[in-house]
Chains A and B, each alone.
Chain A
Amino acid sequence: MQQKDVLPMKPEIADKQLTAKPVITGSEAVIRALVEEGVDTIFGYPGGAIMPIYDALYDFQDQVRHILVRHEQAATHAAQGYARSSGRVGVAFATSGPGATNLVTGLADAYMDSTPMVCITGQVAAALLGTDAFQETDVIGITMPITKWNIQVTRPEDIPGAMAKAFYIARSGRPGPVLVDITKNAQFGEFEYEYKKCEYIRSYRPVPELSQDAVSAAAALINAAKKPFLLVGHGVLLSGAEKELIALAEKAQIPMGSTLLGLSAVPVDHPLYVGLLGMHGNYGPNILTGEADVVIAVGMRFDDRVTGDVASYVPNAKVIHIEIDAAEIHKIIKADVPVHADAKDALAALLQEVTPAEHNAWLAEFRAAHDKEYEKVQHAELYPQQGELKMAEVIRLISEKTQGEAVLVTDVGQHQMVASRYYRFKNPNTNITSGGMGTMGFSLPAAMGAKTGTPEKEVVAIIGDGCFQMTLQELATIHQSQIGVKIVILNNNFLGMVRQWQQLFFDKRYSSTEMVNPDFVQVAKGFYIPGKKVTAREDISAAIDEMLAHQGAYLLEVVVEKEDNVFPMVPAGAPISAIRLE
């Protein structure tokens, strides 16, 4: 993290500075607080009520980069992408009223997917609060259920404390989004500035104390297990516990399955990695969850997309649930051994007490299940010889050509599931997707954020034709700020996942799912972003090469099979053992 320790003083402020504490405006305090917290990038959009803050930002352009998005929702998704890829807190600015309400989707998304983010909104002057003033909205009330914390600041002297708390809360414990709403009078007002980072709130215990008894009980279960199974969740990535997790799996020879957000915690080519859990996950990890005798769930929350029918989930297993958020323990699945702790602490302690073991027959079951899925589904998806292009073969080629090292930012739907199934992730924090919320339109702005947060990495957004049209205005941001993201539209001219459900569960009544799309390459061209459209199998490899070789942003539209389906699939609400291969 870049740390800028010496702040240049504005000359007129330096004159005023007789004591150690400079007298500055609330607006300047906001920006200085961001610098103190190591923020190097803000995604935002100005407007009336946040203008003083933007004015203060003008003097700090050499320290903080502001990326002007084209819609506030995109600012939140970009901040999310930035946070997920870099591990730092993402920051978004918006004005009051419509600016603030446009943040709602991104806040809800970040809350569901535990993403550290601080959103700062301007607000009408304190004297006007509650009067239906121009562009006034109760953003605190609106965002209360979708933020980890929020606060309205009405006095300049309260700004440093609120900012310090916001960053501490956003990044500590189970991370999440925080919103700070600052009235215009607080932005204009002057006060004696002093910044102190927050490290303690008396009613908040972000990191629980690890119970050695729980660790011992968990180790005893694992040591006696014949068919142990590790479920790898987002918490592993958030706590940086990848090494401890893999060491534990290797020591006791435990297969590892991953949730959607847990992807990239374990390299896909690791011999003990057995694939993706859940509705469109791999056959083995789903079907064998039902046979496991001990399930070790790490930093995950048993989402219904993972469990299927809860009553028939893990019928034969004792459940060890390692989880930092106490509210998640026993919420969906009763844990036999709850380990309320940070994943890294818990896994490190567990590693000491777990004895080496072999589970050859059990691991062979996963290999057999994989072979069955490969034969029935994967081979035809990955290496089709005829017919229209398939999403899976495009992902396979991108995976091969980026050697699994790109940051893959996916949107929501069929392309997301295919990308999650077939991209061979090598490094942690390289899978960025909207998991809990399933927000269409997420990936283009999230990819901008990811590329800004980790410019040294290749960032590839995989987007469906429907999703792309929800946030395509961000092509302008990508051009203006010269963000070198690669954009791949997998175009089937359908809202593919909804269409798949209509085919399977609604008698092929394709109600409002077919799309008559624009010429995406022409659209990109209008935003000064070069691109290409591919429809034939013989052209796809060279087109991906061209995209990856291009310096800067590039859009590749791939026309894929119109009525392709994603399999395996667990029908919603069915037991995961009912997973269908076709």
Chain B
Amino acid sequence: MQKEYTVTVYTEDRIGITNRITIIFTRRGINITSLTTAETEIPGVYKFIITVMSTREKLDKVVGQIERLIEIHRAFVHEEDEVVYQELALYKISTKSLHTGDIERLIRENNARILTITADYFVIEKTGHQQELTDFIKKLEPYGLIEYSKSGRVAIVKWSRRFHEHLKELQAQEAENGL
């Protein structure tokens, strides 16, 4: 059955690694719905967090083929309930709407915050899950939404694979081997 999955991939820092990973999804006709990447706590090791709509069976094979790439440390598929995750959205609103009474209540009730205010517009930031962030668009619509921008997913896996320790061990090994 198709549903949303989070795929995490730990990689070396290398030009083109994103392409290497995404073509494996492309080959099987899987659409990537969001992709976040940043360096991990270990210098030179990157973590990709990818969300896709697919089946578990397909993704288990995709992850195997990703792990086969030389510069990939590990790759995992996670069900919705296996990860704690957050997404971040920014909303640009016309400053004129500040004068209408409800905006303050809206920001309070939705745990949003104002990042900046100029004469023409102000920017609201909100974190949450996709649905909450898009629901908030609807609530802001009456105030004159000018622009909306949302990040990909940032996720922490509930069950620990101790990847951090694994990497530390690799580093120690390398130091030992003088590599």
Contact = CB atoms under 8 A, between A and B. Distances in A.
A327 B65 contact: yes
Contact of A327 (B11, B67, B71): B67
Interface string B40-61: 0000000000000000000011
A169 B70 CA distance: 8
Interface string B58-78: 001100110110111100000
16 contacts: A144-B16, A144-B19, A145-B27, A148-B70, A152-B15, A202-B12, A202-B73, A203-B12, A203-B70, A203-B72, A325-B68, A326-B68, A327-B61, A327-B64, A331-B61, A331-B64
B72 to A, nearest CB: 6
Contacts of A134: none
Interface in B16-37: 16, 19-20, 23, 27
Nearest to B12: A203
Contacts of B11: 203
Contacts of B68: 325-327
Interface of B: 11-12, 15-16, 19-20, 23, 27, 60-61, 64-65, 67-68, 70-73, 170, 173-174, 177, 179
A144 B19 CA distance: 8
A204 interface: yes
B170 A202 contact: yes
Contacts of B174: 200, 202
Closest 9 CB pairs of A and B: A327-B64, A327-B68, A149-B70, A203-B73, A327-B65, A204-B70, A202-B170, A203-B12, A145-B23
Nearest to B65: A327
Interface string A202-216: 111000000000000
Nearest to B174: A202
Nearest to B71: A203
A148 B12 CA distance: 16
A177 to B, nearest CB: 13
Most buried by A among B16, B23, B68: B68
Main secondary structure of the interface of B (DSSP, over half): helix
Contacts, number: 46
A387 interface: no
A149 B16 CA distance: 12
B73 A200 contact: no
A466 to B, nearest CB: 29
Nearest to A202: B170
A395 B58 CA distance: 43
Contacts of B60: 330
Given A200-B177, A327-B67, A144 B170 contact: no
A140 B23 CA distance: 13
B20 A144 contact: yes
Nearest to A327: B64
A141 interface: yes
Nearest to A196: B179
A201 interface: yes
B115 to A, nearest CB: 36
A149 B17 CA distance: 11
A141 B17 CA distance: 11
B23 A144 contact: yes
A182 to B, nearest CB: 15
Contacts of B61: 327, 330-331
Contacts of B177: 200
Contacts of A327: 61, 64-65, 67-68
Nearest to A198: B179
Interface string A129-168: 0000000000011001100110010000000000000000
Contacts of B23: 144-145
Nearest to B170: A202
B22 to A, nearest CB: 10
A119 to B, nearest CB: 16
Nearest to B44: A202
Contacts of B73: 202-203
Most buried by A among B60, B61, B173: B61
A141 B19 contact: yes
Contacts of A149: 70
Contacts of A326: 64, 67-68
A176 B177 CA distance: 27
B108 to A, nearest CB: 47
A118 to B, nearest CB: 14
A267 B125 CA distance: 71
Contacts of B179: 200, 202
B76 to A, nearest CB: 13
Nearest to A165: B70
A570 B178 CA distance: 55
B168 to A, nearest CB: 12
A140 B14 CA distance: 13
A141 B20 CA distance: 9
A201 B173 CA distance: 12
Most buried by A among B15, B60, B64, B73: B64
A560 B177 CA distance: 62
B84 to A, nearest CB: 26
B135 to A, nearest CB: 39
Interface string A531-548: 000000000000000000
Contacts of B72: 203
Nearest to B177: A200
A16 to B, nearest CB: 29
Contacts of B70: 148-149, 169, 201, 203-204
A326 B66 CA distance: 11
A169 B12 CA distance: 16
Contacts of B20: 144
Given A140-B16, A202-B73, 6 more contacts: A144-B16, A152-B15, A200-B179, A202-B173, A202-B174, A325-B68
B17 to A, nearest CB: 10
Contacts of B170: 202
Nearest to A168: B70
Interface in A408-467: none
A140 B73 CA distance: 21
A325 B70 CA distance: 12
B71 to A, nearest CB: 5
Contacts of A204: 70-71
Contacts of B15: 152
Nearest to B24: A145
A365 to B, nearest CB: 34
